[in-house]
Amino acid sequence: MRYDDSPPPPESGSSANPDRHWFTRRSTLVVGVAALAPACLAGWVLTQALSGAGPGETLPGPAPQPASHSALSPGQRDAKPGSTPSGSPSTEASTPAAAPAPVPAKGPLTGKTVVVDPGHNTGNFKHTDEIDQQVDIGTNRKECDTTGTTTNSGYMEAEFTMDVSKRLRTALEAQGAKVVLTHEAGDRAWGPCITERARIGNEANADAVVSVHADGVSAGNRGFHIILPAKVKSGAADTAKIVGPSRELGERIAGNFARTTGSAPANYLGGGTGLVVRDDLGGLNLSTRPKVFIECGNMRDAKDAAQLTSPEWRQKAAQGIADGIVGFLGG
């Protein structure tokens, strides 16, 4: 056996040069290897280009085999292509939870219902035929509604009553009350009729009802007054059960209204008490719930009108009425 690289000895009987045979075989091997190298390099470059691998990257190995059907969870087995299996976190942002409904305010009027009736409607001036329809108020028949009055500058009573009524609603809701308005600004072209206004309070089973107004008498007559129901029993009118509680409601509102607004009781009726009893108002005659009207001032008197047209004063008026209702219902 030979362990060196020396050329093999010449075969016996051969006249060839042994060094030449060895050189020839070695040269042939070198040439073959040299020819094969470019082909291998070209194949590698082609493979890398087709695989998308960049410099320094390695070709991916065989793709992992999917787990067997039995190894998947029920949600994974049933999931449709592209869907998120049940029990797995979604890659999409979850939908935000709906904001909880606002919690009603708690206060002395919690569980109580108050109906606020904004007197008249700004559209009544354009619907005089409709509001002139006669309705039965028990003691007699009278107009469905009226236009209400205005200040000398044209500020409408219906604008005033709606503004104060909305402020009053806010104040009462802050005390925990459920508040129902007989109508909202712009929700109807005219009215409602006085019979419907009474019915809304009755059907709401209201603990108290207040109808907001402003008077329209001659200049020099100033101040507020509260109108209370008289005791009547005729046709659909029967006020026997509400006369007492309505007076208490009126007295509470009168005291708080005077204190909060700085307004004095009317100087032209009520004997300085600010309280007047009437039997000719359908809104009172047809009510089965404690109810009063408040005339907050005289729109035809310049000094009263200056108050009635002031947003700051209207806020005080609403608060004074609200405090009277709280005193009546909350003790």
Which residues are marked as active site? 295
* Distances from the Cα of 143 to the Cα of 79, 88, 126, 192, 292, angstroms: 71, 70, 15, 11, 19
Dump strand ranges (E) for the chain: 113-118, 134-136, 141-143, 178-181, 208-215, 225-229, 233-234, 237-238, 275-278, 291-298
Instruction: Give residue for tokens 């208490």.
Output: 248
* Beta strands 208-215 and 291-298, pairing class: parallel
- Backbone region of residue 116 per phi and psi (left: phi > 0; alpha: psi in -120 to 50; beta: other values): beta
Which of 184, 185, 175 lies closest to 326, judged by CA? Answer: 175
Structural contact between residues 144 and 198, judged by C-beta atoms closer than 8 angstroms: no
